[in-house]
Structure 1
Amino acid sequence: MVSAMTMSMDDCLFADHLPDDPCAELAKWFDYARAHSGATNWNTVMLATVGAGGMPSARAVLHKNFDPSDGSVTFYTNYSSRKARDIDANPSVALTWHWDALQRQVRIEGTASKVEPAVSDAYFATRVRESQIGAWASDQSQPLEGWEALLEKVIGYATEFADKPVPRPPYWGGYRVIPQTIEFWHGRDGRIHERVLYSRSSDAAATATIWHPQWINP
Protein backbone atom coordinates (compact mmCIF):
# COMPACT_ATOMS: atom_id res chain seq x y z
CA MET A 1 0.00 0.00 0.00
CA VAL A 2 1.32 3.44 -0.90
CA SER A 3 1.37 5.67 2.15
CA ALA A 4 -0.46 8.95 2.32
CA MET A 5 2.90 10.64 2.85
CA THR A 6 4.18 9.27 -0.45
CA MET A 7 1.14 10.50 -2.31
CA SER A 8 0.97 13.91 -0.62
CA MET A 9 1.15 16.90 -2.94
CA ASP A 10 2.21 19.24 -0.14
CA ASP A 11 5.89 19.24 -1.08
CA CYS A 12 5.40 18.83 -4.83
CA LEU A 13 7.43 21.65 -6.36
CA PHE A 14 5.47 21.78 -9.60
CA ALA A 15 2.02 20.82 -8.30
CA ASP A 16 0.28 24.10 -9.06
CA HIS A 17 1.73 24.82 -12.49
CA LEU A 18 4.82 24.46 -14.65
CA PRO A 19 6.79 27.73 -14.85
CA ASP A 20 6.89 29.28 -18.31
CA ASP A 21 10.58 30.19 -18.06
CA PRO A 22 12.93 27.38 -16.99
CA CYS A 23 15.90 29.76 -16.90
CA ALA A 24 14.27 31.91 -14.22
CA GLU A 25 13.32 28.72 -12.36
CA LEU A 26 16.90 27.45 -12.57
CA ALA A 27 18.16 30.72 -11.11
CA LYS A 28 15.89 30.08 -8.11
CA TRP A 29 17.22 26.53 -7.78
CA PHE A 30 20.81 27.79 -7.81
CA ASP A 31 19.98 30.35 -5.12
CA TYR A 32 18.34 27.62 -3.04
CA ALA A 33 21.30 25.27 -3.47
CA ARG A 34 23.73 28.02 -2.49
CA ALA A 35 21.76 28.73 0.69
CA HIS A 36 20.64 25.26 1.74
CA SER A 37 22.77 22.48 0.21
CA GLY A 38 25.45 22.73 2.89
CA ALA A 39 28.08 22.25 0.18
CA THR A 40 31.02 24.64 -0.12
CA ASN A 41 31.14 24.03 -3.86
CA TRP A 42 27.39 23.98 -4.43
CA ASN A 43 28.14 24.94 -8.07
CA THR A 44 29.91 21.67 -8.86
CA VAL A 45 28.55 20.27 -12.11
CA MET A 46 29.35 17.09 -14.02
CA LEU A 47 30.35 17.94 -17.58
CA ALA A 48 30.00 15.17 -20.16
CA THR A 49 31.66 15.41 -23.57
CA VAL A 50 32.23 13.10 -26.53
CA GLY A 51 35.49 13.20 -28.47
CA ALA A 52 36.22 12.73 -32.15
CA GLY A 53 36.51 8.97 -31.67
CA GLY A 54 33.06 8.71 -30.12
CA MET A 55 34.30 7.95 -26.60
CA PRO A 56 32.35 9.77 -23.85
CA SER A 57 34.10 11.37 -20.90
CA ALA A 58 32.80 13.08 -17.77
CA ARG A 59 34.37 15.19 -15.04
CA ALA A 60 33.37 17.64 -12.33
CA VAL A 61 33.90 21.34 -12.99
CA LEU A 62 32.66 24.49 -11.26
CA HIS A 63 30.17 26.65 -13.10
CA LYS A 64 31.16 30.26 -12.57
CA ASN A 65 28.34 32.17 -14.21
CA PHE A 66 24.70 31.62 -15.04
CA ASP A 67 22.77 34.03 -17.26
CA PRO A 68 19.01 33.68 -16.67
CA SER A 69 18.27 35.66 -19.83
CA ASP A 70 19.27 32.71 -22.04
CA GLY A 71 20.09 29.94 -19.55
CA SER A 72 23.77 29.92 -20.49
CA VAL A 73 26.28 28.40 -18.08
CA THR A 74 29.99 29.32 -18.09
CA PHE A 75 32.95 27.30 -16.84
CA TYR A 76 36.70 27.74 -17.29
CA THR A 77 39.48 25.35 -18.23
CA ASN A 78 42.72 24.79 -20.10
CA TYR A 79 42.02 24.92 -23.84
CA SER A 80 44.45 22.00 -24.33
CA SER A 81 42.63 19.72 -21.87
CA ARG A 82 40.70 16.65 -22.94
CA LYS A 83 37.38 18.37 -22.35
CA ALA A 84 38.44 21.23 -24.62
CA ARG A 85 39.65 18.88 -27.34
CA ASP A 86 36.36 17.01 -27.12
CA ILE A 87 34.39 20.24 -27.45
CA ASP A 88 36.48 21.31 -30.44
CA ALA A 89 35.52 18.03 -32.14
CA ASN A 90 31.92 17.92 -30.91
CA PRO A 91 30.39 20.97 -29.19
CA SER A 92 27.38 19.00 -27.90
CA VAL A 93 27.71 18.59 -24.13
CA ALA A 94 25.65 17.61 -21.09
CA LEU A 95 25.71 19.12 -17.59
CA THR A 96 24.35 17.60 -14.37
CA TRP A 97 24.04 19.21 -10.93
CA HIS A 98 23.00 16.94 -8.07
CA TRP A 99 22.36 18.15 -4.52
CA ASP A 100 21.76 15.00 -2.51
CA ALA A 101 20.89 16.83 0.71
CA LEU A 102 18.12 18.68 -1.14
CA GLN A 103 16.93 15.77 -3.28
CA ARG A 104 17.22 18.01 -6.32
CA GLN A 105 18.95 17.56 -9.65
CA VAL A 106 19.19 19.56 -12.87
CA ARG A 107 20.29 18.29 -16.25
CA ILE A 108 21.16 20.40 -19.28
CA GLU A 109 21.94 19.32 -22.82
CA GLY A 110 23.31 21.98 -25.12
CA THR A 111 26.13 23.41 -27.17
CA ALA A 112 29.43 24.77 -25.85
CA SER A 113 31.55 27.53 -27.38
CA LYS A 114 34.45 29.64 -26.18
CA VAL A 115 33.64 32.90 -24.44
CA GLU A 116 35.13 36.17 -25.61
CA PRO A 117 38.79 36.71 -24.53
CA ALA A 118 37.78 39.79 -22.53
CA VAL A 119 35.36 37.65 -20.49
CA SER A 120 38.11 35.14 -19.73
CA ASP A 121 40.49 37.98 -18.84
CA ALA A 122 38.00 39.48 -16.41
CA TYR A 123 37.36 36.19 -14.63
CA PHE A 124 41.05 35.20 -14.53
CA ALA A 125 41.83 38.48 -12.76
CA THR A 126 39.52 37.45 -9.88
CA ARG A 127 41.32 34.16 -9.20
CA VAL A 128 43.74 33.87 -6.30
CA ARG A 129 47.36 34.28 -7.33
CA GLU A 130 48.24 30.63 -6.64
CA SER A 131 45.50 29.51 -9.04
CA GLN A 132 46.68 31.98 -11.67
CA ILE A 133 50.22 30.60 -11.48
CA GLY A 134 48.87 27.06 -11.51
CA ALA A 135 47.09 27.77 -14.78
CA TRP A 136 50.45 28.59 -16.35
CA ALA A 137 52.22 25.59 -14.85
CA SER A 138 49.72 22.84 -15.69
CA ASP A 139 49.56 21.31 -19.17
CA GLN A 140 46.20 19.88 -18.19
CA SER A 141 45.51 16.26 -19.18
CA GLN A 142 49.04 15.83 -20.60
CA PRO A 143 51.51 13.21 -19.24
CA LEU A 144 53.60 14.31 -16.25
CA GLU A 145 56.91 12.78 -15.10
CA GLY A 146 55.96 13.31 -11.49
CA TRP A 147 54.45 15.79 -9.06
CA GLU A 148 57.90 17.24 -8.40
CA ALA A 149 58.13 18.24 -12.07
CA LEU A 150 54.88 20.17 -11.74
CA LEU A 151 56.10 21.83 -8.56
CA GLU A 152 59.26 22.98 -10.33
CA LYS A 153 57.15 24.65 -13.01
CA VAL A 154 55.00 26.32 -10.36
CA ILE A 155 58.10 27.71 -8.66
CA GLY A 156 59.47 28.84 -12.01
CA TYR A 157 56.34 30.80 -12.93
CA ALA A 158 56.04 32.21 -9.41
CA THR A 159 59.55 33.60 -9.86
CA GLU A 160 58.83 34.88 -13.37
CA PHE A 161 55.72 36.77 -12.24
CA ALA A 162 57.10 37.94 -8.91
CA ASP A 163 55.93 41.43 -7.93
CA LYS A 164 53.70 41.84 -10.99
CA PRO A 165 50.21 40.81 -12.09
CA VAL A 166 49.82 37.34 -13.57
CA PRO A 167 48.33 37.55 -17.08
CA ARG A 168 45.89 34.98 -18.39
CA PRO A 169 47.61 32.19 -20.34
CA PRO A 170 46.55 32.22 -24.00
CA TYR A 171 45.60 28.54 -23.68
CA TRP A 172 43.20 29.07 -20.76
CA GLY A 173 39.68 30.46 -20.82
CA GLY A 174 35.97 29.91 -20.60
CA TYR A 175 33.24 28.00 -22.36
CA ARG A 176 29.61 29.04 -22.48
CA VAL A 177 26.97 26.32 -22.74
CA ILE A 178 23.67 27.32 -24.37
CA PRO A 179 20.97 24.83 -23.31
CA GLN A 180 18.63 23.09 -25.70
CA THR A 181 16.94 21.16 -22.90
CA ILE A 182 16.69 21.75 -19.14
CA GLU A 183 15.38 19.00 -16.87
CA PHE A 184 14.39 19.45 -13.23
CA TRP A 185 14.26 16.46 -10.86
CA HIS A 186 12.86 16.49 -7.35
CA GLY A 187 13.20 13.35 -5.24
CA ARG A 188 10.08 12.08 -3.46
CA ASP A 189 9.27 9.24 -1.06
CA GLY A 190 8.77 5.86 -2.70
CA ARG A 191 10.68 7.10 -5.76
CA ILE A 192 7.54 8.89 -6.94
CA HIS A 193 9.82 11.65 -8.16
CA GLU A 194 9.00 14.80 -10.07
CA ARG A 195 10.67 15.19 -13.47
CA VAL A 196 9.94 18.11 -15.75
CA LEU A 197 11.71 18.55 -19.08
CA TYR A 198 11.88 21.85 -20.98
CA SER A 199 12.85 21.82 -24.66
CA ARG A 200 13.84 24.95 -26.55
CA SER A 201 11.78 25.70 -29.65
CA SER A 202 13.48 24.78 -32.92
CA ASP A 203 11.29 27.22 -34.86
CA ALA A 204 13.75 29.46 -36.69
CA ALA A 205 10.96 31.96 -37.36
CA ALA A 206 10.34 32.53 -33.65
CA THR A 207 11.21 36.06 -32.56
CA ALA A 208 11.83 34.99 -28.96
CA THR A 209 12.93 31.82 -27.24
CA ILE A 210 10.01 29.48 -26.61
CA TRP A 211 10.34 26.68 -24.07
CA HIS A 212 8.04 23.67 -24.15
CA PRO A 213 7.51 21.97 -20.75
CA GLN A 214 6.67 18.30 -20.38
CA TRP A 215 6.18 16.07 -17.37
CA ILE A 216 8.16 12.83 -17.79
CA ASN A 217 8.07 9.60 -15.82
CA PRO A 218 10.63 9.23 -13.02
Structure 2
Amino acid sequence: MNPPLPITPEEDPVQVVDEWLKEATQKGIQRHPNSMTLATVNTSGQPSARVVLLKDLSVNKGFGVFYTHYGSKKGIDISSNSTVSAVMHWDQLGKQVRLEGEAVRSPAKESNEYFMTRPWHSQLNAWVSEQSKSLANPIDLVRRAKDKARDLKLPDPTDIAFNGLDLNKSCIPRPPFWGGYRLWFAAIELWTEGAGRFHNRIRYERTLSPIDAYTFQASDWKSGYLQP
Protein backbone atom coordinates (compact mmCIF):
# COMPACT_ATOMS: atom_id res chain seq x y z
CA MET A 1 0.00 0.00 0.00
CA ASN A 2 1.36 3.41 -0.90
CA PRO A 3 1.97 6.00 1.80
CA PRO A 4 -0.23 9.10 1.61
CA LEU A 5 0.80 11.85 -0.76
CA PRO A 6 2.83 14.57 0.97
CA ILE A 7 0.91 16.98 3.19
CA THR A 8 2.50 19.83 1.27
CA PRO A 9 2.06 19.13 -2.48
CA GLU A 10 5.18 19.19 -4.60
CA GLU A 11 5.72 22.44 -6.49
CA ASP A 12 6.07 20.64 -9.84
CA PRO A 13 3.78 17.66 -10.50
CA VAL A 14 5.57 16.87 -13.78
CA GLN A 15 8.59 15.85 -11.70
CA VAL A 16 6.37 13.39 -9.82
CA VAL A 17 5.02 11.97 -13.10
CA ASP A 18 8.61 11.48 -14.24
CA GLU A 19 9.55 9.70 -11.01
CA TRP A 20 6.53 7.40 -11.15
CA LEU A 21 7.16 6.56 -14.79
CA LYS A 22 10.79 5.71 -14.02
CA GLU A 23 9.69 3.55 -11.10
CA ALA A 24 7.22 1.63 -13.28
CA THR A 25 9.90 1.16 -15.94
CA GLN A 26 12.62 0.00 -13.54
CA LYS A 27 10.33 -2.48 -11.79
CA GLY A 28 9.17 -3.98 -15.08
CA ILE A 29 5.58 -4.22 -13.90
CA GLN A 30 4.10 -4.15 -17.41
CA ARG A 31 5.20 -4.40 -21.01
CA HIS A 32 4.57 -0.74 -21.79
CA PRO A 33 4.82 1.29 -18.58
CA ASN A 34 4.69 4.44 -20.73
CA SER A 35 1.24 3.61 -22.14
CA MET A 36 -1.53 6.14 -21.63
CA THR A 37 -5.17 6.27 -22.61
CA LEU A 38 -5.67 9.40 -24.72
CA ALA A 39 -9.16 10.90 -25.06
CA THR A 40 -10.16 13.31 -27.83
CA VAL A 41 -13.48 14.86 -28.86
CA ASN A 42 -14.74 15.43 -32.41
CA THR A 43 -16.78 18.32 -33.79
CA SER A 44 -20.04 16.58 -32.80
CA GLY A 45 -18.94 16.27 -29.19
CA GLN A 46 -18.35 12.52 -29.48
CA PRO A 47 -15.40 11.42 -27.31
CA SER A 48 -12.96 8.71 -28.39
CA ALA A 49 -10.24 7.02 -26.36
CA ARG A 50 -7.30 4.84 -27.30
CA VAL A 51 -3.94 3.79 -25.86
CA VAL A 52 -0.81 5.55 -27.10
CA LEU A 53 2.77 5.52 -25.85
CA LEU A 54 4.31 8.50 -24.07
CA LYS A 55 7.64 8.67 -25.89
CA ASP A 56 9.09 11.76 -24.22
CA LEU A 57 8.42 13.84 -21.13
CA SER A 58 9.78 17.37 -20.83
CA VAL A 59 9.97 17.93 -17.10
CA ASN A 60 11.31 21.47 -17.45
CA LYS A 61 8.66 22.68 -19.92
CA GLY A 62 5.78 20.50 -18.83
CA PHE A 63 4.65 18.50 -21.85
CA GLY A 64 4.61 14.90 -23.03
CA VAL A 65 5.04 13.60 -26.57
CA PHE A 66 3.25 10.86 -28.48
CA TYR A 67 3.39 9.95 -32.18
CA THR A 68 0.72 9.04 -34.69
CA HIS A 69 -0.64 9.44 -38.21
CA TYR A 70 -1.92 13.02 -38.51
CA GLY A 71 -4.85 11.76 -40.58
CA SER A 72 -5.94 9.24 -37.95
CA LYS A 73 -9.11 9.60 -35.90
CA LYS A 74 -7.19 11.20 -33.07
CA GLY A 75 -5.34 13.51 -35.47
CA ILE A 76 -8.58 14.70 -37.07
CA ASP A 77 -10.14 15.28 -33.64
CA ILE A 78 -7.13 17.28 -32.45
CA SER A 79 -7.15 19.42 -35.59
CA SER A 80 -10.60 20.73 -34.64
CA ASN A 81 -10.36 20.48 -30.84
CA SER A 82 -6.87 20.52 -29.38
CA THR A 83 -8.05 20.08 -25.79
CA VAL A 84 -7.38 16.47 -24.77
CA SER A 85 -6.98 14.33 -21.68
CA ALA A 86 -5.01 11.21 -20.83
CA VAL A 87 -4.64 8.65 -18.04
CA MET A 88 -1.62 6.59 -17.00
CA HIS A 89 -2.41 3.80 -14.54
CA TRP A 90 0.07 1.44 -12.86
CA ASP A 91 -2.12 -1.05 -11.04
CA GLN A 92 0.69 -2.93 -9.31
CA LEU A 93 2.10 0.33 -7.96
CA GLY A 94 -1.27 1.62 -6.84
CA LYS A 95 -0.64 4.87 -8.70
CA GLN A 96 -2.40 6.85 -11.40
CA VAL A 97 -1.90 10.12 -13.25
CA ARG A 98 -4.59 12.12 -15.04
CA LEU A 99 -3.39 14.66 -17.61
CA GLU A 100 -5.36 17.45 -19.26
CA GLY A 101 -4.14 20.06 -21.71
CA GLU A 102 -3.54 21.19 -25.26
CA ALA A 103 -2.13 18.97 -28.03
CA VAL A 104 -0.09 20.63 -30.79
CA ARG A 105 2.12 19.11 -33.45
CA SER A 106 5.78 18.67 -32.60
CA PRO A 107 8.39 20.55 -34.65
CA ALA A 108 9.31 18.61 -37.80
CA LYS A 109 12.92 18.29 -36.62
CA GLU A 110 11.85 16.43 -33.48
CA SER A 111 9.54 14.12 -35.42
CA ASN A 112 12.32 13.41 -37.93
CA GLU A 113 14.79 12.56 -35.17
CA TYR A 114 12.39 10.16 -33.50
CA PHE A 115 11.36 8.54 -36.78
CA MET A 116 15.01 7.68 -37.47
CA THR A 117 15.12 5.60 -34.26
CA ARG A 118 12.21 3.36 -35.26
CA PRO A 119 12.70 -0.16 -36.68
CA TRP A 120 12.42 -0.25 -40.44
CA HIS A 121 9.22 -2.30 -40.30
CA SER A 122 7.62 0.46 -38.24
CA GLN A 123 8.92 3.14 -40.60
CA LEU A 124 7.50 1.27 -43.58
CA ASN A 125 4.15 0.82 -41.86
CA ALA A 126 3.94 4.57 -41.24
CA TRP A 127 4.04 5.09 -45.01
CA VAL A 128 1.57 2.34 -45.85
CA SER A 129 -1.18 2.41 -43.23
CA GLU A 130 -3.87 5.07 -43.62
CA GLN A 131 -4.58 4.79 -39.92
CA SER A 132 -8.25 4.53 -38.91
CA LYS A 133 -9.47 4.27 -42.51
CA SER A 134 -11.58 1.27 -43.53
CA LEU A 135 -9.84 -1.75 -45.06
CA ALA A 136 -11.62 -4.15 -47.41
CA ASN A 137 -9.08 -6.93 -46.95
CA PRO A 138 -5.92 -7.13 -44.78
CA ILE A 139 -4.14 -8.61 -47.80
CA ASP A 140 -4.44 -5.21 -49.48
CA LEU A 141 -2.33 -3.64 -46.73
CA VAL A 142 0.32 -6.33 -47.10
CA ARG A 143 0.39 -5.75 -50.84
CA ARG A 144 0.85 -2.00 -50.36
CA ALA A 145 3.66 -2.68 -47.90
CA LYS A 146 5.46 -4.93 -50.37
CA ASP A 147 5.06 -2.33 -53.14
CA LYS A 148 6.34 0.50 -50.95
CA ALA A 149 9.27 -1.64 -49.80
CA ARG A 150 10.31 -2.10 -53.42
CA ASP A 151 10.05 1.66 -54.03
CA LEU A 152 12.31 2.31 -51.04
CA LYS A 153 14.68 -0.55 -51.99
CA LEU A 154 13.87 -2.44 -48.80
CA PRO A 155 13.56 -6.20 -48.25
CA ASP A 156 10.20 -7.90 -48.56
CA PRO A 157 8.52 -7.06 -45.21
CA THR A 158 6.82 -10.47 -45.16
CA ASP A 159 10.13 -12.35 -45.40
CA ILE A 160 10.85 -13.60 -41.89
CA ALA A 161 14.57 -13.74 -42.68
CA PHE A 162 14.69 -9.93 -42.61
CA ASN A 163 12.55 -9.36 -39.51
CA GLY A 164 15.52 -8.69 -37.24
CA LEU A 165 17.62 -6.92 -39.85
CA ASP A 166 19.05 -3.59 -38.69
CA LEU A 167 18.92 -1.54 -41.86
CA ASN A 168 20.24 1.96 -42.31
CA LYS A 169 17.12 3.77 -41.14
CA SER A 170 18.20 7.06 -42.70
CA CYS A 171 17.21 5.70 -46.12
CA ILE A 172 13.54 5.86 -45.12
CA PRO A 173 12.26 9.43 -44.83
CA ARG A 174 9.47 10.36 -42.44
CA PRO A 175 6.06 10.68 -44.11
CA PRO A 176 4.79 14.28 -43.90
CA PHE A 177 1.48 12.95 -42.56
CA TRP A 178 3.09 11.19 -39.59
CA GLY A 179 4.74 12.74 -36.55
CA GLY A 180 4.56 13.82 -32.96
CA TYR A 181 2.19 15.77 -30.77
CA ARG A 182 3.17 17.72 -27.72
CA LEU A 183 0.60 17.43 -24.95
CA TRP A 184 1.08 20.58 -22.87
CA PHE A 185 -0.23 19.97 -19.38
CA ALA A 186 -2.82 22.44 -18.06
CA ALA A 187 -3.92 20.10 -15.27
CA ILE A 188 -2.41 17.05 -13.58
CA GLU A 189 -4.05 14.85 -10.97
CA LEU A 190 -1.94 12.47 -8.89
CA TRP A 191 -3.66 9.48 -7.29
CA THR A 192 -2.29 6.84 -4.93
CA GLU A 193 -4.15 3.90 -3.48
CA GLY A 194 -4.86 4.19 0.23
CA ALA A 195 -5.94 1.78 2.96
CA GLY A 196 -9.67 1.25 3.42
CA ARG A 197 -10.38 3.04 0.13
CA PHE A 198 -9.11 6.30 1.60
CA HIS A 199 -7.28 7.03 -1.61
CA ASN A 200 -5.10 10.10 -1.99
CA ARG A 201 -5.72 12.69 -4.73
CA ILE A 202 -4.03 16.00 -5.50
CA ARG A 203 -5.01 18.15 -8.49
CA TYR A 204 -2.70 20.73 -10.03
CA GLU A 205 -3.80 23.41 -12.48
CA ARG A 206 -2.09 26.18 -14.43
CA THR A 207 -2.93 28.52 -17.29
CA LEU A 208 -1.41 28.04 -20.75
CA SER A 209 -0.84 30.95 -23.15
CA PRO A 210 0.35 30.14 -26.70
CA ILE A 211 3.70 31.57 -27.78
CA ASP A 212 3.95 29.92 -31.20
CA ALA A 213 2.67 26.82 -33.02
CA TYR A 214 4.64 24.49 -30.75
CA THR A 215 5.03 26.28 -27.42
CA PHE A 216 3.00 27.64 -24.52
CA GLN A 217 3.90 29.94 -21.68
CA ALA A 218 2.58 28.56 -18.41
CA SER A 219 1.63 30.14 -15.11
CA ASP A 220 2.71 28.65 -11.80
CA TRP A 221 0.98 25.50 -10.64
CA LYS A 222 -1.86 25.78 -8.13
CA SER A 223 -2.84 22.67 -6.21
CA GLY A 224 -5.42 21.27 -3.86
CA TYR A 225 -6.59 17.96 -2.43
CA LEU A 226 -9.63 16.10 -3.76
CA GLN A 227 -11.88 13.69 -1.91
CA PRO A 228 -11.57 10.08 -3.07
Cα contact 2:2–2:193 (8 A) shared by 1 = no
Counterpart amino acid of residue 77 in structure 2:
D
Distance 2:191 2:68 in 1: 28
1:137 to 128, 142, 156: 128
Change in 2 beyond 3 A, CA 1:60/1:11: closer
Would you identify which runs of 4 or more consecutive aligned residues in structure 1 move more than 3 Å?
201-204
SS of residue matched to 2:175: coil
Note if 1:62 corresponds to 2:53: yes
1:175 aligns with 2:166: no
Q: What does the per-residue CA deviation read over 1:185-213, in whole Å, with 9 as the maximum and x for residues that have no partner?
A: 00122211000000114799xx9731111
Distance in structure 2 (CA, Å) of the matches to 1:49 and 1:71: 20
Contact 2:209–2:218 (Cα < 8 Å) also in 1:
no
Which residue in 2 is equivalent to 1:29?
A: 20
User: Conserved in 2, the CA contact under 8 Å of 1:23 and 1:70?
Assistant: no
Partner of 2:196: 190
In structure 1, the partner of 2:172 is 166
Q: Deviations over 1:79-123 (max 9, x none)?
A: 100000000010000010001111110001100000111111000
Distance in 1 between residues matched to 2:27 and 2:191, nearest whole Å:
17
Q: Contact 1:188–1:194 (CA<8 Å) still a contact in 2? A: yes
Q: Which residue of 2 aligns with 1:48?
A: 39
Distance 1:70 1:92, change over 3 A: same
Structure 1 unmatched ranges of 5 or more: 1-9
Task: Verify the 8 A CA contact 2:208 2:218 in the aligned structure 1.
Answer: no
By how many angstroms is 1:33 displaced?
Answer: 1.4
* Cα contact 2:14–2:62 (8 A) shared by 1: yes
Give the Å deviation of 1:145.
1.1
In the alignment of these two chains, the number of paired residues is: 207
What RMSD, in angstroms, separates the aligned Cα atoms of the two structures? 1.9
Identical-residue share of aligned pairs (%): 36
Unaligned runs of 5+ in 2: 155-167, 211-216
Inter-partner Cα distance in structure 1 for 2:218 and 2:174: 36
Counterpart for residue 206 of structure 2:
200
Q: 1:216 aligns to what?
A: 226
